Amino acid sequence: MPSPPPRVERRALVAPALLVALALAQLAAWQCAALSPWKGGGFGMFATTDHGAFRTVRVIELGAAGERRIALPSELDRLHRHARELPREANLRRLAEALRAREPGLGPLRVEVWRTEFSPADLAPRLVLVAQAEPL
């Protein structure tokens, strides 16, 4: 009579189960907070053009005379990338607050995050709004 297959020890399944849990959490963060598919441990790299290089963060001052785009200084690069990769409201607000701390004279701000869609016909790029927060 053949011997039964050896039992898999539960401890061997812990790391793979964590991998699945992390990947599912990444999917949820992508759905709910527009986390970049390339980030977060869900193995979405090299699957889509929706990643940091093709996302744009814009900060706009809402003045009485109209809207004015504000350049982001390199000192805010980490906050900028946070807003770009995970554009939930808290991250957009943090970026606006840091900008205001550097330039206290700024009026109300709107922070926008855009991703780029490419036309399958001719690769023409089109910016699509991912998230925005205002007034900040």
Partner 1 sequence: MELALRVLLLVLLLDASLFWFQRVPLQIAAGLGLLLPAFARDARLWAGLTLLTAWPLVWNWPFSDNHDYLRALTALSLTLALGARDAPAALRTSARLLVGGTFLFATLWKLVLSPDFVDGTFFRVTLLADPRFHDLAVLAGGASWETLDAFDAALREVFAGRPEGWPGAFVEPAGLRPLALALTVFTGASEAAIAAAFLWPRLARYRNVLLIAFGASTFAFATVRGFGWLLMALGFAQCAPDERRARIGYVATLFLIELYRSVPWSRMLIDALGLS
The token duo for 132 is: 């925005």
Q: What is the DSSP letter of 51?
A: S
20 vs 105, which CB is nearer to partner 1?
A: 20
Measured CA to CA, the distance from residue 13 to residue 65 in angstroms comes to 61
Amino acid at the residue 85: E
> Which 25-84 positions form the footprint of partner 1 (CB under 8 A)?
29, 35-50, 53-54, 56, 69, 81-82
Measured CA to CA, the distance from residue 116 to residue 111 in angstroms comes to 17
40 vs 111, which CB is nearer to partner 1?
A: 40
Residues at the contact surface with partner 1, assessed by CB under 8 A: 6, 8-9, 11-16, 18-20, 22-23, 29, 35-50, 53-54, 56, 69, 81-82, 85-86, 116-120, 122-125, 127
